[in-house]
Amino acid sequence: MHEALLVISTFLASSVEMVEALTIVLAVGLTRGWRSALLGSGAALVVLAAVVAVLGPAVGHVPLAPLRLFVGALLLIFGLQWLRKAILRAGGLKALHDEDAIYRTAVEQARTTAATGREMDWYSFTVAFKGVFLEGFEVVFIVVTFGASAHQLGPAAAGAFAAVIIVGTVGVVLRSPLARVPENTMKFVVGIMLTSFGTFWGAEGAGVRWPGGDSAILGVVALVALSSIGLVLVLRRRLALSEAR
Amino acid sequence: MRRALRSFAHFWYDFVVGDDWRMAATAVVILAVTWFAAHHGLNLWWLVPLAVVATVAGSVLFALRSAGERRGDR
């Protein structure tokens, strides 16, 4: 159960980040040519793979309790801000993430920026590198922290890898931003999972013995999910009342 | 060099802590209290989940109030 939740969480988190990276790469690739955009994306993937290769085995040598406390705290803080943003978006207090609008802006910027050379278009390379690296870095962070806390780097990486393959393949086939992916809903679920796992591992690292052992994670997920949905409903109601006045 | 270090620190702060530093501070304090209690024989397993729910609720309602004040209503 624990392992399945872990794989689902890394898969969803990686999918939303991949959709965002894909939007940027498609915008520069379709507007200015594929060579430099793909080289930039490939270079970012190589750097990210190197980060995982260095960090992954290194965290495996750290004792589990202090590692879970440190990584759990980090994951909890990271998850809290992710969940807060998702609740504010779902409640209508923050604009929803719109891949179509982001794509249009990126295309406009790519068109208005002059090409810098004949052989290599450094604008495309840099934009694609930055997009893939920054979005991918969040995936690496989640995979390494999840993998380290559960001592299951393999399943965590498998979830992320599956997302990269699926989203990448769909993007290559469609050659358009994946605006139909329910990205905001996925982000909401990922926020719940990050916060729940951060709570579970952080408390365990601090010395807590959970009633029911590992199955307590299900209770934590349920509590965080229900309270988040409740907050979304409160936000929507308050905003509706305020607009009705 | 100093500028690069500052932007590096800014990136990490923005990446991990984000918009509301109070949530991060609360998480650290609650985990510290839990650790202290556990090392004195108290198993406060309920503390972190409840604090998490309260922290998110507080931050979201604070954002709602701030948005209301910006719009000029109460």
Per residue in A123-166, pLDDT (tens digit) is 888 888 988 888 888 888 888 887 777 777 788 888 888 988 88
ipTM over 0.85: yes
Model confidence pLDDT, tens digit, residues A181-219: 677 888 888 889 889 989 998 999 899 999 988 889 899
Q: Check pLDDT > 50 for residue A69.
A: yes
CB distance B16–A235 less than 8 Å?
A: no
Lowest mean pLDDT among A2-16, A23-37, A59-73, B28-42: A59-73
Alpha carbon distance B66, A23 (integer Å): 32
Q: Check pLDDT > 80 for residue A60.
A: no
Alpha carbon distance B1, B8 (integer Å): 10
Q: pLDDT value at position A178?
A: 66
Q: pLDDT value at position B7?
A: 80
Q: What is the mean pLDDT of residues A96-104?
A: 71
CB distance B56–A227 less than 8 Å?
A: yes
Higher per-residue pLDDT: A45 or A242: A45
Q: pLDDT value at position A77?
A: 92
Q: Which of A78, A85, A239 sits opposite B16 (nearest CB)?
A: A78
Collapsing DSSP to helix, strand or coil, A81 comes out as helix
Mutate: best of B22, B45, B70, partner A, most A CBs <10 A:
B45
Q: pLDDT value at position B74?
A: 45
Go through A29-68 and write b for each residue having 16 or more CB atoms within 10 A of its CB, e for each that does not.
bebbeeebbbbbbeebbeebeebbeebbeebeeeebeebb
Q: pLDDT value at position B24?
A: 93
Q: pLDDT value at position A37?
A: 87
Task: Match 């952080």 to its residue by tokens.
Answer: A202
Q: How far is CA A177 from the centre of its chain?
A: 17
Between CA A145 and CA A155, with CA A151 as vertex, the angle to 5 degrees is: 80
Q: What is the mean pLDDT of residues A215-233?
A: 94
Mean pLDDT of chain A: 84
Which two tokens mark A120? 């290599």
CB distance B71–A242 less than 8 Å?
A: yes
Q: pLDDT value at position A221?
A: 93
Alpha carbon distance A100, A97 (integer Å): 9
Alpha carbon distance A45, A14 (integer Å): 13
Q: To 10 degrees, what angle do helices B47-71 and B21-38 make?
A: 160
Q: pLDDT value at position B71?
A: 65
Q: Are A149 and A75 in contact (CB under 8 A)?
A: yes
Residue type, A168: G
Q: Which of B35, B55, B56 sits opposite A206 (nearest CB)?
A: B35
Alpha carbon distance A66, B28 (integer Å): 14
Q: What is the mean pLDDT of residues A63-82?
A: 86
Residue type, B26: T
Model confidence pLDDT, tens digit, residues B18-57: 888 999 999 999 999 999 999 999 999 999 999 999 999 9
Q: Check pLDDT > 70 for residue A228.
A: yes
> Chain B: nearest CA to A239, how far in angstroms?
9
In chain A, which residue's Cα lies nearest the Cα of B51?
A: A199
Q: What is the mean pLDDT of residues A86-105?
A: 80
Which positions in chain A touch B25 (Cβ < 8 Å)?
Answer: none
Mutate: best of A81, A217, A242, partner B, most B CBs <10 A:
A81
Question: How many contacts (CB atoms, under 8 Å) link A and B?
Answer: 116
**Phi/psi zone of residue A114: left (φ > 0), alpha (ψ -120 to 50 degrees), beta?**
beta
Q: Are A203 and A72 in contact (CB under 8 A)?
A: yes
Q: Which of B20, B35, B56 sits opposite A69 (nearest CB)?
A: B35
